Amino acid sequence: MMDKTVQTAAEAVADITDGSSVAVGGFGLCGIPSVLIQAVLDGGASDLEVVSNNCGVDDWGLGLLLGAGRIRKMVSSYVGENKEFERQFLSGELELELTPQGTLAEKLRAGGSGIAAFYTQSGVGTQVAEGGLPRRYDGTGGVAVASPAKPVQAFGGRDYVLEEAISTDFALVHAARGDRHGNLVFDLSARNFSPLAAMAGRITVAQVEELVEPGELDPDAVHLPGVYVHRVLEVGHGITKRIEKRTVRTTTESER
């Protein structure tokens, strides 16, 4: 159906069930699909494998699912800002596939483009390529599961490591504007991983702050075409948006 809108967040994520894999857009707390994440939490799905740059903070974003014990595995490039993430990983409760940030982005893009794998220089000569990165601890300080070695091949006199693409059962993203056909426009840096995560999902759900009619978006301004999007939920401009840290300084007399 060309009209891909749904009326509620619960409806949008109703078929995300136990064991699903989910790609989630956002960088830190910027551009995260917070309404959809809350709906997944409310829906009760557990044993999830989540692919996202990071896992939110302890009480917001993906951190809500993590704190509720709903996530079995994270595929991420950054694991800071979340003490519960650290606790679960070191205790052996959470599996982590730590991936270089650019490699993670390309793995998602490749997954959505029908590319099975690609070669990159990122990680050559490190445990990323050679294996041995802890993926799960045993709870006593030992490594229960370590990353495997990956194929390395020389091209033009340089070594490259083979990285497999990522595709997931679902993808959740946030956009500033979207139409009923699923075409999306992201706002500045909130664009970050979102188009790539959306491409990787077999079923992609987008929450949009403003829903417009088909034809209202300038085709040249569309960041993600609707062919990648299956459901659209309008959440409005009043949703809560948080940042990890706020730093301020005292204004001097000369600046007043």
Residue 245 — very low, low, confident or very high, per pLDDT cuts 50/70/90? confident
Model confidence pLDDT, tens digit, residues 1-60: 589 999 999 999 999 999 999 999 999 999 999 999 999 999 999 999 999 999 999 999
Q: Tell me: pLDDT of 234 over 70.
A: yes
What pLDDT score does 1 carry? Answer: 58
Residue 171, C-beta contacts closer than 8 angstroms, at least 6 positions apart: 22, 23, 24, 25, 197, 198, 199, 200, 201, 203, 204, 205
Structural domains of the chain ordered from first start:
1-116+165-256 (3.40.1080.10)
Residue 63, C-beta contacts closer than 8 angstroms, at least 6 positions apart: 55, 56, 57, 82, 84, 85
At 206, is the secondary structure helix, strand, or coil?
strand
Q: Does an H or E element contain 34, and which?
A: helix 34-43
What pLDDT score does 81 carry? Answer: 79
Tokens of 175: 């956009």
Q: Tell me: pLDDT of 248 over 90.
A: no
CA-CA-CA-CA torsion sign (212, 217, 223, 225) = positive
User: What share of the chain has pLDDT > 90, as a percent?
Assistant: 90
**Alpha-carbon gap, residue 29 to 25, rounded angstroms:** 10
What pLDDT score does 11 carry? Answer: 98
Q: Tell me: pLDDT of 242 over 90.
A: no
What is the separation, in whole angstroms, between the first and last Cα of the chain?
57
Of residues 24, 27, 28, the one with CA closest to residue 13: 24
Residue 167 one-letter amino acid: S
What pLDDT score does 244 carry? Answer: 76
Q: Tell me: pLDDT of 138 over 90.
A: yes
Q: What is the pTM of this model?
A: 0.93
Tokens of 188: 């500045």
Whole-angstrom CA distances from 177 to 91, 111, 242 are 41, 24, 19
What pLDDT score does 47 carry? Answer: 98
Q: SS3 sequence, 171-198?
A: EEEEEEEEECCCCEECCHHHHCCHHHHH
Model confidence pLDDT, tens digit, residues 180-224: 999 999 999 999 999 999 999 999 999 999 999 999 999 999 999
User: What share of the chain has pLDDT > 70, as a percent?
Assistant: 99
